[in-house]
């Protein structure tokens, strides 16, 4: 800061004009882009003992707010995926999740699923949590809106931080969503009527699935993941609960909340992301990972599709985590499982990521499986299914 030492004794009239001079000096410096002491063209000199620094703080805040507003206006321009909320009619609740609620609705005459997420402005979330919510939302939209594949749920559009969502108050809702956020973001995707793959497998847990159906579902999932990996996208939460079935039993991958573009350096991708039971050993162990973590999760899904059962249902989360990493624990493959299919499972859930096949290779392996002779969990001579399960589990 520059001071006029020659005029230290000329205090007359300075008090009345100090604030005006301060504001003028600050404005000229901030708008001009220079530092607070770098405006060489200004001839304004102020006595340090006469400056009201609180006024400077107020003025600086005003200028920063003005700059922030201009920046916000730039970023608030309509994105190509932004939906017209006037065309969105939200109906009933489909499901509740950790990060929001999913509703069935209609958008521009099309049945859709609407995933509503808190925008982080409820006054409860910390600044860091709010930032994480918004970053997760932007990430999901960035991943999803450019995808186009028959085995990936079709993205319709999204809306960021809006207060104009019209959610009927009479919609039945659990206690966790009694109070809707004042501002929310939503992702709108095609509505898949038949629910999740997990629910489908639970419904068939007694009679099991015909082997041709097992291979069809496995191929749908493999093709969808192969497509994602070709776009450098790692899903990171591959599980039967995140797969949907349409009315033709076509499988579609959904929920890209934790998906991300694969880093060129695997060391840039770390952290426990996913669901225990499906998580690869390197993810559980906090080591760097890549798209091969999806291949591991796919292998667990293959077992689940074939057996119509849950892996490790008799173990706690802590036990699963430790045993998968330290003891190479895997679900036990039934003896009646065809060797070609069992071999694909084992390759996919290999402990070493580099030994796991790429998903396009998995597609070729599954396409080569012969389903003409059966081989599912319904042996020809056993009406009640396969009896080859044992209580012990191992790789």
Which among 226, 228, 221 is positioned nearest to 262, based on CA atoms? 228
Q: How far is CA 11 from CA 15, 56, 101, 112, 333, in A?
A: 8, 21, 66, 72, 92
* CA–CA separation, 43 and 4 (whole Å): 10
363, 223 Cβ separation under 8 angstroms: yes
The helix/strand count (H/E) of the chain reads as 10, 9
Active site residue 237: yes
294, 236 Cβ separation under 8 angstroms: yes
Catalytic residue among 220, 237, 255, 294: 237
Task: Give the tokens for residue 335.
Answer: 């003896």
- Give the 3-state secondary structure of 206-273: CCCCCHHHHHHHHHHHHHHHHHHHHCCEECCCCCHHHEEECCCCCEEECCCCCCEECCCCHHHCCCCC
Q: Which residues are catalytic?
A: 237
């Amino acid at each position: 800061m520059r001071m006029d030492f020659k005029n230290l004794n000329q205090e007359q009239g300075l008090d009345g004009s100090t604030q005006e001079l301060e504001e003028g000096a600050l404005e000229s410096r901030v708008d001009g882009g220079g530092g607070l002491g770098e405006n060489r063209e200004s001839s304004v000199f102020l006595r340090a003992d006469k400056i009201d620094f609180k006024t400077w703080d107020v003025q600086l805040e005003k200028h920063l707010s003005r700059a922030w507003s201009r920046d916000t206006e730039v970023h608030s321009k309509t994105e190509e995926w932004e939906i017209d909320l006037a065309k969105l009619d939200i109906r009933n609740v489909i499901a509740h999740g950790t990060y929001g609620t999913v509703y069935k609705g209609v958008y521009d005459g099309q049945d859709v699923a609407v995933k509503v997420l808190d925008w982080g402005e409820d006054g409860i979330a910390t600044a860091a949590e709010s930032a994480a919510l918004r970053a997760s939302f932007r990430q999901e939209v960035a991943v999803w809106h450019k995808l186009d594949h028959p085995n990936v749920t079709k993205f319709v559009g999204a809306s960021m931080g809006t207060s104009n969502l019209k959610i009927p108050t009479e919609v039945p809702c659990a206690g966790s969503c009694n109070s809707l956020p004042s501002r929310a973001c939503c992702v709108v995707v095609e509505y898949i009527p038949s629910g999740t793959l997990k629910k489908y497998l639970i419904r068939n847990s007694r009679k099991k699935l015909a082997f041709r159906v097992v291979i069809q579902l496995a191929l749908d999932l493999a093709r969808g993941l192969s497509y994602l990996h070709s776009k450098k996208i790692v899903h990171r939460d591959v599980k039967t609960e995140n797969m949907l079935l349409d009315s033709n039993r076509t499988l579609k991958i959904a929920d890209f909340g934790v998906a991300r573009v694969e880093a060129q350096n695997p060391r840039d991708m770390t952290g426990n992301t996913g669901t225990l039971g499906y998580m690869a050993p390197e993810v559980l162990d906090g080591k760097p990972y890549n798209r091969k973590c999806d291949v591991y999760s796919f292998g667990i899904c293959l077992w689940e599709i074939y057996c119509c059962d849950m892996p490790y249902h008799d173990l706690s989360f802590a036990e699963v985590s430790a045993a998968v990493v330290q003891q190479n624990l895997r679900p036990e493959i039934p003896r009646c499982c065809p060797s070609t299919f069992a071999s694909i499972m084992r390759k996919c859930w290999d402990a070493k990521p580099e030994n796991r096949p790429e998903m396009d290779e998995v597609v070729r392996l599954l396409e080569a499986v012969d389903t003409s002779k059966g081989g599912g969990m319904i042996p020809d001579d056993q009406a009640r299914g396969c009896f080859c399960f044992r209580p012990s589990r191992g790789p």
